[in-house]
Amino acid sequence: MTKHEILKQYFGHDEFRAGQEELIDAILAGRDVLGIMPTGGGKSMCYQVPGMLMDGVTLVISPLISLMKDQVMALKNAGVGAAYVNSTLTIEQLRLVYRRIREGAYKIIYAAPERLLAEGFVAVMQEVKISLLAVDEAHCISQWGQDFRPSYLRITEFLDVLPYRPVVAAYTATATEFVREDIVRILGLRSPFTMITGFDRPNLSFDVQKPKDKTAALVKFIRSRTDKSGIVYCATRAAVDKLYEELTKRGVSAAKYHAGMEDAERAEQQEDFSYDRKTVMIATNAFGMGIDKSNISWVVHYNMPKSVEAYYQEAGRAGRDGSAAECVLYFSAGDVMTAKFLIENGNENEELSPAERQQVLEADMARLDAMTGYCKTTECLRGYILDYFGQPHGETCGNCSNCLADYIDVDITTEAQMILSCVRRVRAHLGYAVGTALIVNVLRGGKVKRVLDLGLDKVKTYGVMAKTEPMRIRSYIDFLEREGYLRVTQEYQTLVLTDRADEVLFRGETVTMPMKQEPEPAAKEPVRKAGRPVKGAAVPSDVPEELMTVLKTVRLRLAEEEKVPRYMVFSNAALEDMGRKRPHTIEEFLDVSGVGSTRAAKYGAIFLEAIAEYERNEE
């Protein structure tokens, strides 16, 4: 079998996504790889496909126990021998799995990193041929990453006790260079083929809003999407409880999830959401690790998260089936304070020395700054994220609130005069130029020591923009620089006037700046506006609604019969394609995207019959 046949037959996908094929080819050629892909980017294909083509077994190290179970279930469902080994198994189950491993029953085995210390496990692994060792969430090996796991350090020891060294493939969604280097070094990857890819999720739209009343905005948002599921992420447990209560009071039926709840209740709430009994989940970031619910249509962040990594991972839980989905962030200045507080008080990793802790704190603060930048940028939001992850992109995406915002020309001549004049006067006063931060401080009439020490409170423009937000003044300064009225010196990053500034200061030139028109926060429409082409987003459905209802009903029935969530039968995207293609034979059914031969054999006839019946009624 070829890799394409495996992809189609076992997983039902027609094509590889960007980056998958390159990584698979490198592995098949016997080379170590480092794959950097976002969550949901399709990392598992990058070890499952080669794993099935290589002789022997593929061992997957993953810290996510619930994910393991889902993946193994999905593999079995697709007809692949797979098993997992972790702390949830009883002794009897463990013995059985070990025996079946020895018998060669499995092609793909998932294990939690703690297993690498267990003698029994290591002994079994020494007896079978491991061709590929796949390390998922490989950043857990780095102390500077966000979720350091000491047991990951055992991977190298484990490799050393194997009879021979398998190909090692590491995968992560981590952005920082530092962590990536750690992965290569500590895992001992041998000149790995490295691929950064797939961070773009064109079917997701991005939107940053600053609603005055977040709850009101949210209720309105949810009410106009009653048939869709979504997640609301809050920064703290208390915020989850409070929002849950408020929404319930207003008649929104929601589930909630955070680490402070009883296990049983949490499991129940999660199930309500997974099985679509409740369409809204309010949660802290504890929710979602390993949740592979593919029909989540929106994710709202009620508070700003601590890093772009965290944001993108959480927002990225929307639209995993490829249909258009919305990612909205409600930003308020208070969110920055909360995030700082959480960072300063949340780092209790006892394995770290005070100096190391300080370093982690600084790394966290830098990540927070980048996140805050996302909330404030006026440029393409998608572009901002892709920049952060190191992936090239076009200038605009046409599917984020900044690209779709209406811009109006605003006359900022007065503001420009104040700023340019301030730069000029400060320089005359001091005899040298200073940077943006100090200029902003002087304009706002700041009382910081440096301003007072330098006597800048005596300068004539001191405090003339006291009522303007610092961010706004900065955006004026950026604009004046782009337009050539100001220049930032290379060496010291100081602001100096250009000749063109004189036109504004002395010769009556006016300055207009395009500014985003802030919509009424609560009345804001979803990002996709009628009549505007949305590049890369899923096309609106051309399948009759009735047919979709028929297909969804069949899926629901099958899901309930088998006691699996609906997306385990077929994703929304697959149903949509089924509705479009209207297959009449099993061959045609296999052509539907997302349909593999196992599930075709299992469910095909039932769907074919439903489609045929629909068509008879249509005539």
Binding residues for ligand ADP, rule: CB under 6 A, are 13, 15-17, 20, 37, 39-45, 294, 320
Q: By rule CB under 5 A, what string of x and - marks binding of each residue 47-86 to Zn ion?
A: ----------------------------------------
Please state the closest distance from residue 36 (CB atom) to ligand ADP, in A.
11
Cβ count within 10 A of residue 556: 14
Distance CA 107, CA 11 (A): 15
Q: Which residue, 240 or 573, has its beta carbon nearer to ligand ADP?
A: 573
- Contact of 538 with 580, CB cutoff 8 Å: no
What is the Cβ-side half-sphere exposure of residue 400, based on CA atoms within 13 angstroms? 22
Distance CA 171, CA 75 (A): 19
By a kind-dependent CB cut-off of 5 to 8 A, residue 465 interacts, out of ligand ADP, Zn ion, none, with: none
Indicate the DSSP class of residue 400. B
Q: Which residue, 383 or 596, has its beta carbon nearer to Zn ion?
A: 383
Total binding residues toward Zn ion, as defined by CB under 5 A:
5
Please state the closest distance from residue 48 (CB atom) to ligand ADP, in A.
8
Nearest in space to 386 (alpha carbons), one of 526, 197, 548, 566:
197
Q: Which residue, 204 or 231, has its beta carbon nearer to Zn ion?
A: 204
Q: For strand 407-411 and strand 512-516, is the pairing parallel, antiparallel, or unpaired? A: antiparallel
Q: Which residue, 175 or 486, has its beta carbon nearer to ligand ADP?
A: 175
Distance CA 544, CA 475 (A): 48
By a kind-dependent CB cut-off of 5 to 8 A, residue 500 interacts, out of ligand ADP, Zn ion, none, with: none
Q: Kindly list the distances between the CA atom of residue 70 and the CA atoms of 185, 265, 333, 564, in Å, as whole numbers in the listed order.
A: 31, 21, 39, 11
Please state the closest distance from residue 593 (CB atom) to ligand ADP, in A.
7
Please state the closest distance from residue 19 (CB atom) to ligand ADP, in A.
10
Please state the closest distance from residue 422 (CB atom) to ligand ADP, in A.
50
Helices and strands (DSSP H and E) totals, the chain: 26, 17
Tell me which of 255, 400, 433, 504 binds Zn ion, using CB under 5 A: 400
Tell me which of 3, 107, 154, 382 binds Zn ion, using CB under 5 A: 382
Nearest in space to 40 (alpha carbons), one of 366, 299, 370:
299
Q: Which residue, 61 or 404, has its beta carbon nearer to Zn ion?
A: 404
Tell me which of 403, 416, 464, 513 binds Zn ion, using CB under 5 A: 403
Please state the closest distance from residue 41 (CB atom) to ligand ADP, in A.
4
Options 235-243, 392-400, 511-519, 564-572: segment touching Zn ion (CB under 5 A): 392-400
Buried b (16+ CB within 10 A) or exposed e, 148-177: bbebbbbbeebbeebeeebbbbbbbbbbbe
Over its C-alpha atoms, the chain yields an Rg (Å, rounded) of 28
By a kind-dependent CB cut-off of 5 to 8 A, residue 397 interacts, out of Zn ion, ligand ADP, none, with: Zn ion
Strand pairing partners for 515? 408
Distance CA 7, CA 4 (A): 5
- The answer to whether 404 contacts Zn ion (rule: CB under 5 A) is no
Please state the closest distance from residue 391 (CB atom) to Zn ion, in A.
14
- Contact of 609 with 578, CB cutoff 8 Å: no
By a kind-dependent CB cut-off of 5 to 8 A, residue 294 interacts, out of Zn ion, ligand ADP, none, with: ligand ADP
Scan residues 352-381 and list those touching Zn ion (CB under 5 A): 380
- Residues lying near Zn ion in the complex (CB under 5 A): 380, 382, 397, 400, 403
